[in-house]
Amino acid sequence: MLIRTPRRSFLLLSSLVALAGCRRETGESDQTFPRDQTVYVGGFQWGPPSSFNPLATAPDWPCMVGNSHNLFYETLLVFNTLTGEMQPLLAQSFQVEPDAIRVVLQPSARFSDGSPVTADDVKYTFDLGRQHKSLRLAAVWPFLQEIEAGADGKSVRFVLERARPNPLVVLDALQETYILPRHVIEPLLASLGGDMNELGKLKFDERSIGTGPYQMHSYSAEKIATVRRDDYWGNDVFFGGKRAAAKYVVHPVYKSNDHYSVALQQGRLDASSSFIPRIWLKEKKGVRAWLDRAPYFAASAMPVVWINHQRTPTNDVHFRRAMAFAIQYDDIRELAVSGYSEPVKPGLVLPFGFEGKYYSEEDAQKYGASFYDPVRARAELAAGGYQPIWGPNGELIETRDRSGARVRTVYIKSPTGWTDWEAAVRIIVRSLRAVGIDARERFLDASLYWPAGYTGDFDLLLGTPASAPTPSKPWSRFDFVLTTQDFAPEGQKVYRNLGRFNDPKAPGYVPRFTELLDRIPTLTDPAELLAAYRELNVLVMVHQPVLQFVYRPDQFYEFSNRVWQGFPTAKDPFLPPQIPSSRLGTRMLWQLTPVGQQDLAFLPRGTQP
Amino acid sequence: MRSWLRAHPTLRHIVGRAGWYVLTFFVAVAVNFVLPRLGDANPVDMLMARARTNLDSTTARQQEEAYLAEFGLVHVDDAGAVIRDAAGKPVPTSLPSQFLRYVSLSAQGDLGTSILQHPRRVSEIIGKALPWTLALQLPTIVVGWLVGNLLGALAAYYRGVFDRVLYPIALLTSAIPAFCLGIILVYVFGIQLEWFPAVGGYDDGMVPGLSWAFVRSASYYYVLPFVSILVIVVGHQAIGMRSMCIYELGTDYVKYAKLLGIHERKILLYMFRNAMLPQLTGLALALGGMVGGALITEMIFSYPGLGLAILTAIQGNDYPLISGCTLLVTVCVLIANFCVDVAVGLLDPRIRASHGAAQ
């Protein structure tokens, strides 16, 4: 009698497990989002969603700033990262004039409530940034004098600030600023007493009024689901009257890269921008990337090691160039980032893609130091008066300076848990120590990492300056690294030029950096532009304000063709490598077809909408 | 009142314990409030970093100050403008004034707004995550406790083959780290065999709701996380109970009962009742602490719950969310402990006897 109880328990447990384990999938009819009508995307949302308000500081997918997602709200223009050109979205065309940028709106562009998108909406949206300095949009106003809405209601002139003419910053804003309906936002703001902070607290989590092809379906801590708007104005303009193939676009919220990787392999996710190490091992499960061989992804960003120029010994150009020569770049590429990078070249210009035309291999060979060359690294150290002291087993004991004093250890700070960066830092430390530079790793909790960067509390620190691919590249990368516009000493916060390079009040100040940064945005002649970029890049190579160590894509464009097919690749680059909710990647939603229904393709492959 | 309490020793015991728990509550709330703030970190930094802006420093500083003011971390004047010192820096509020603000708002049921998940309310975050945490933890703890204790008691009483098989298995399962077992389950049953989903709490194609289809889907996704915790809990409980029962078996009352020829089922019941007391305390503590979430399980299975919310709140110095979660955990642990104290006081004749003797 007594023995029967555990037997019963065992039986009960076993039956429960067996019952659950009979691979009973939820029936298709039970699904709110039928699989063949739903595109699952991932890699942008890493925590429970909190706001879909485009005027909040950090709204969630698909309203987040930086990646120009355009499912709910749309921008005037969209930047093609393959060609470096701006393409129409809410704006039909644009023209850069000497003192202004003129934009003509699509005649048929409408908000989801049916009201047309007018020049007044555009002016109102941008003017919000002029009135409310806490908005991200405020950053463009130092470069704008005013915005003129045309009498026709469909043209807008962005008049450039005469004192600081910079069309590049304005172009960046045109391709990342969501155009909002004035007739909705203005009364809402007025009802809150004009308090933008209060407006920023509204979640906009119901079907808010936007121009995009999708709207909110539902959201929870586990996923954000959007549903197609069949009356989207762009169907006629860009897609010959066809609707997007996917009725739903859903972003599940997973908690790590591994989960996105597993979901891609299981066909539960269609496209994701998450770091999957050794992606070639996932090919047999149907996971693909932009390229089918290394570097697999199209790089558009340049992570760097920020160098603190307010401290010794990193304020010494010999020391900095010695570090640049010492780093084993190939090891970082192969071991830390799974080969997902082109070989690194000196300077702040990407030597390929739309920036490649500004890169000069001749300059790099002549002035650059970002090549692994331990002999030249030691020579630079010797030229700076640094002398490594080696132990009996060849290990570095310490480094001494010209006076014989011990040079303090330099620490490389990086966020803990960012595994690719941790691996890169270890390789950099090993490389530096091998040539006689006393360097060590210092991995920090993210909550300490960011303030360390802003306040300059570091010797060396990993970061990615101006990572988004925008029309202002490579100028904005130079500007982010070199600007002295809001220079502040260590201890006070700055959000650009974290290394405090080129102190305007210091004796070694090089004004030519600032002159070139101010001049490049105003240049239109290609030859002049090339000359200016070359000169600026040479200055960077000579002064080595940061250490480049790898390239990375803006988005790790990975897809699975288990459920949907027709994703663009490097062999069939009809759209750039972007997740189908971001930039031109959204247009993929009209091109994809469920597997097995390829005959129903709405548009022939290779057709550029 | 005093004489009345004197006449009722058990009630006196309960009231006395309640007093201590109220005191403990206030101390715990103060410690929970102060500890995260000792690091001197600026929680708004993470929010600013998340915005990943290319803002110029002036605009960025304006944004940062607006948030610092909203979270009560800097002084503002009557008009809501940030008060600055001579150097132009915002004047931070002192810890005691932040504490008073927190206590006064919490007393009104306002746990504040999360910093990292701005503008979500802390109560909303907890409210959304707590059902998942309870649904995962409560059954695993209760079922694991029942099954583990039963198996432990049987193994101790019958010994023989049953014990020789069960004991090493229980040792093994209790020694496996939770993350290790979770990863093995995901790899074998989720990725290789594809019997169970490897990540998530329910089918991605569904919206949570009270439908049979959703319950079925959630149950299917529930299996691996449930098993990953259950196996370990059963192992722990079985070993603990087995040891306690072996100790009880050697006691005089069991030998005497056997000599009297009392039915073995009754002897087992006596033994089980005595051996169960420390296990009961363990159960109550586990139930009290369960609202803290099953962090490792949540991370491995990407399962919804409060554990990861607490972890990210701590990592990001999200003070309001940390305070809200620790308040919840504190209240639950204290209530559970109080219930154990009361239950043991009522059930255990020895404690009743000791109170009587004290009189």
Q: What is the pLDDT of residues A385-401, one digit of tens each?
A: 999 999 998 899 999 99
Residue B300: what pLDDT?
Answer: 87
Give dist(CA B311, CA B293) in Å, integer.
10
Q: Which of B166, B133, B161 is nearest to B290 (CA)?
A: B133
Share of chain B above pLDDT 70, in %: 92
- Check residues A42 and B289 and name the one with the higher pLDDT: A42
Residue A87: what pLDDT?
Answer: 96
pLDDT at B359 over 50: no
Residues from chain A contacting residue B124 (CB–CB below 8 Å): none
Residue B166: what pLDDT?
Answer: 87
**Assigned superfamily of A304-548:** Dipeptide-binding Protein; Domain 3 (3.10.105.10)
Pair of tokens at residue A385 = 């008066």
**Closest residue in A to B222 (Cα–Cα):** A20
Q: Which of B172, B137, B170, B177 is nearest to B238 (CA)?
A: B170
A214-294+555-594 sits in which CATH class?
alpha beta
Out of B53, B64, B299, the one facing A136 most closely (by C-beta) is: B53
Nearest CA-CA distance, residue B268 and chain A, Å: 10
**Cα B340-B344-B346 angle, rounded to 5 deg:** 120
Residues from chain A contacting residue B113 (CB–CB below 8 Å): 201
pLDDT at B351 over 50: yes
Give dist(CA B333, CA B336) in Å, integer.
5
Give dist(CA A566, CA A607) in Å, integer.
12
Q: CATH 3.40.190.10 occupies which residues in chain A?
A: 214-294+555-594
Mutation site for B-interface testing, chosen from A450, A472, A517 by largest number of B Cβ within 10 Å = A450
Residue A387: what pLDDT?
Answer: 95
Q: CATH 3.90.76.10 occupies which residues in chain A?
A: 73-180
Query: A222, B304: Cβ pair inside 8 Å?
Result: yes
Query: A6, B66: Cβ pair inside 8 Å?
Result: no
Give dist(CA A375, CA A381) in Å, integer.
10
- Report the first-to-last Cα separation within chain B, whole angstroms: 16
pLDDT confidence tier of residue B311, bands split at 50, 70 and 90: confident
Q: What is the pLDDT averaged over residues B88-104?
A: 84
Residue B55: what pLDDT?
Answer: 63
Give dist(CA B285, CA B304) in Å, integer.
23
Residue A296: what pLDDT?
Answer: 95
Annotation: CATH topology of A73-180: Dipeptide-binding Protein; domain 1 (3.90.76)
Residue B54: what pLDDT?
Answer: 58
Amino acid at A303: P
Q: State the complex-level ipTM.
A: 0.77
pLDDT at B42 over 50: yes
Residue pLDDT, tens place only, A297-325: 999 999 999 999 999 999 999 999 999 99
pLDDT confidence tier of residue B356, bands split at 50, 70 and 90: low
Residues from chain A contacting residue B52 (CB–CB below 8 Å): 65-66, 467
Residue A464: what pLDDT?
Answer: 92
Amino acid at A255: K
Residue pLDDT, tens place only, A356-376: 999 999 999 999 999 999 999
pLDDT confidence tier of residue A3, bands split at 50, 70 and 90: very low
B57 touches A496 (CB < 8 A): yes
pLDDT at A15 over 70: no
- DSSP letter for each residue of A338-374: TT-SPPP-SSSS-SSGGGGGG--HHHHHHH---S--H
Residue pLDDT, tens place only, A341-360: 999 999 999 999 999 999 99
Out of B116, B206, B308, the one facing A255 most closely (by C-beta) is: B308
For chain A, the average pLDDT equals 90
Residue B2: what pLDDT?
Answer: 67
Q: Is the dihedral of CA B166, B169, B171, B174 positive or negative?
A: negative
Residues from chain B contacting residue A262 (CB–CB below 8 Å): 186, 190-191, 198-199
Q: CATH 3.10.105.10 occupies which residues in chain A?
A: 304-548
Question: Within B56-121, where are the H helices?
Answer: 57-70, 95-107
pLDDT at A402 over 70: yes
- Check residues A419 and B58 and name the one with the higher pLDDT: A419
Residue A416: what pLDDT?
Answer: 86
Query: B41, A451: Cβ pair inside 8 Å?
Result: yes
Residue pLDDT, tens place only, A163-184: 889 999 999 999 999 999 999 9
Residues from chain B contacting residue A66 (CB–CB below 8 Å): 52-53
Out of B46, B199, B312, the one facing A259 most closely (by C-beta) is: B199
pLDDT at B213 over 60: yes
Nearest CA-CA distance, residue A329 and chain B, Å: 27
pLDDT confidence tier of residue A493, bands split at 50, 70 and 90: confident
Residues from chain A contacting residue B170 (CB–CB below 8 Å): none
